[in-house]
Structure 1
Amino acid sequence: MLQIGKFNTLNVVKQVPFGFYLDGGDDGEVLFPTKFAGADLKIGDQCQVFVYHDSDGRLTATTQTPLAEVDECAFLKVVSVNNVGAFLEWGVDKDILVPYSEQDFPMAEGVSYVVFVYFDDETGKVAASTRLRDFLFEEGEHFAEKQAVELLICGRSDMGYKAVINGSHLGLIFKDEVFKPLRIGQRTTGFIKRVREDNKIDLCFQFHDDNARKDLAEQIIDDLEAHGGISTLTDKSSADEISKRFNVSKNVYKKTLGALYKQKRILLDKNKVTLIK
Structure 2
Amino acid sequence: MSDSIIKVGEYNTLKVARAFEFGMYLGDGKDVVLLPKRFIPAGLEVGDKVKVFVYHDSEDRLIATTQQPKGVVGDIVNLQVVSVTPHGAFMDWGLMKDIFVPKSKQITGMRVGGNYLVKIYLDEQTGRVAATEKIEHFLSNDHITLKELDQVDLVVYRRTDIGYVVIINNQHTGVLHFSDIFREITVGDQLKGYIKNIREENLIDVATGKPGYQRVEDETEKVMRLLQENNGYLPYNDKSNPDDIYSFFAMSKKTFKMTTGNLYKARKITFTQTGIKLVEE
TM-score, normalised via structure 1 length: 0.66
Shift of 1:72: 1.9
CA offsets 1:123-163 (integer angstroms, 9 cap, x no match): 10111222223333333643334545332212234554221
2:191 partner SS: strand
Note if contact 1:7-1:48 (Cα within 8 Å) is conserved in structure 2.
Answer: yes
Q: Counterpart of 1:7?
A: 11
Q: Which moved more, 1:178-187 or 1:103-112?
A: 178-187
The 5 Å alignment of 1:218-257 reads: 222-223=240-241, 243-244=246-247, 247=250
Q: Counterpart of 2:123?
A: 120
The 5 Å alignment of 1:173-252 reads: 173-174=176-177, 180-204=183-207, 222-223=240-241, 243-244=246-247, 247=250
Residues 39 and 194 of structure 1: is their aligned pair in 2 closer, same or farther, counting only changes over 3 Å? closer
Shift of 1:112: 2.0
Note if contact 1:140-1:200 (Cα within 8 Å) is conserved in structure 2.
Answer: no
The 5 Å alignment of 1:113-192 reads: 113-139=116-142, 141-157=144-160, 160-174=163-177, 180-192=183-195
Question: Quick one: distance in 2 between partners of 1:158 and 1:152?
Answer: 18
Note if contact 1:8-1:49 (Cα within 8 Å) is conserved in structure 2.
Answer: yes
Question: Quick one: distance in 1 between partners of 2:170 and 2:29?
Answer: 29
Matched letter for residue 138 of structure 1: N
Q: Counterpart of 2:232?
A: none
Question: Quick one: distance in 2 between partners of 1:9 and 1:60?
Answer: 14
Q: Counterpart of 1:21?
A: 25
Matched letter for residue 50 of structure 2: C
Question: Quick one: distance in 1 between partners of 2:29 and 2:203?
Answer: 42
CA offsets 1:6-59 (integer angstroms, 9 cap, x no match): 121223333444222223777x43121111124544444433211110011101
Shift of 1:179: 6.2
Residues 157 and 191 of structure 1: is their aligned pair in 2 closer, same or farther, counting only changes over 3 Å? same
Q: Counterpart of 2:40?
A: 37
Question: Quick one: distance in 2 between partners of 1:246 and 1:35?
Answer: 47
Note if contact 2:15-2:48 (Cα within 8 Å) is conserved in structure 1.
Answer: yes
Note if contact 1:180-1:243 (Cα within 8 Å) is conserved in structure 2.
Answer: no
Q: Which among 87, 108, 112 is matched to residue 109 of structure 1?
A: 112
Residues 176 and 9 of structure 1: is their aligned pair in 2 closer, same or farther, counting only changes over 3 Å? closer
Q: Counterpart of 1:85?
A: 88
Identity of aligned residues (%): 39
Q: Counterpart of 2:62?
A: 59
Note if contact 1:78-1:109 (Cα within 8 Å) is conserved in structure 2.
Answer: yes
- Report how many residues are paired: 224
Note if contact 1:179-1:242 (Cα within 8 Å) is conserved in structure 2.
Answer: no
Note if contact 2:17-2:28 (Cα within 8 Å) is conserved in structure 1.
Answer: no
Q: Which moved more, 1:15-24 or 1:65-74?
A: 15-24
Residues 147 and 34 of structure 1: is their aligned pair in 2 closer, same or farther, counting only changes over 3 Å? closer
Gaps of 5+ in 2: 212-236, 253-281
Shift of 1:116: 1.9
Matched letter for residue 75 of structure 1: N
Work out which of the two has the higher radius of gyration on C-alpha atoms and give 1 or 2.
Answer: 1
Root mean square deviation of aligned Cα: 3.4
TM-score, normalised via structure 2 length: 0.65
Residues 246 and 19 of structure 1: is their aligned pair in 2 closer, same or farther, counting only changes over 3 Å? closer
Matched letter for residue 36 of structure 1: F
CA offsets 1:226-267 (integer angstroms, 9 cap, x no match): xxxxxxx8xxxxxxx995268478xxxxxxxxxxxxxxxxxx
